[in-house]
Amino acid sequence: DIQMTQSPSSLSASVGDRVTITCQASQDISNLLNWYQQKPGKAPKLLIYDASNLETGVPSRFSGSGSGTDFTFTITSLQPEDIATYYCQQYDNFWTFGQGTKVEIK
Amino acid sequence: EVQLLDSGGGLVQPGGSLRLSCAASGFTFSNYAMSWVRQAPGKGLEWVSGVPDNDDRTFYADSVKGRFTISRDTSKNALYLQMNSLRAEDTAVYYCATNIGGRRFDHWGQGTLVTVSS
């Protein structure tokens, strides 16, 4: 099984800050990685697919990069509506999610 | 507009059964792979089961293999999850999701809560 490890598990940042979340796969998964946003009580929402492609309608302050085993998710300027938990997900071998990163406003 | 409506959750005793449903609309259901993803209270996301598009194969996480059965009825645009021999650790919100090309989960239902408790 492929394990996905996200860090940090939570973070607190100010509005306008740059926020970075990392995701590490237990083996090489090329670019077969997606990122999701989940707000409390809501279903997850796809933000980034294939490591770096922005889903239609998603603000450009969200971005993703990486390949192989190491991936990065970035919010260039944190907004109040970005408060949520973010998950990475691999699809190289079935589908596995990272444990999530909770983003809060400082 | 793609819509997925999850239903069928509830309270069930350990060892019991439950059948979840997902009503799909706004897209050609038979052309999409579909999956069930669950989230235990306060925990992360776990893929549970999936069916490819235009294919009879089914896939399961090891945690539910032999107890859960996924199926789809293209005449009703519906996805199902039959859950048997339920355990306390199956307590979660269950989401159905489109799984385009077997890669990303691009549309999600609102979720239905399953609670396994005596």
pLDDT digits (tens, 9 = 90+) for A34-90: 999 999 999 999 999 999 999 999 999 999 999 999 999 999 999 999 999 999 999
The structure tokens 């009703």 sit at B76
Residue B54's pLDDT band (boundaries 50, 70, 90)? confident
Scanning chain B, the segments in alpha helix (DSSP H) are: none
Express each pLDDT in B77-117 by its tens digit. Answer: 999 999 999 999 999 999 999 998 889 999 999 999 999 99
How far does B111 lie from chain A, in Å, by closest CA? 7
Minimum Cα–Cα distance from B4: chain A residue:
A43
Q: What is the pLDDT of residue B56?
A: 85
Express each pLDDT in B57-67 by its tens digit. Answer: 999 999 999 99
Chain A residues within 8 A of B102 when measuring between CB atoms: 91
Length of chain A: 106
Q: What is the pLDDT of residue B100?
A: 85
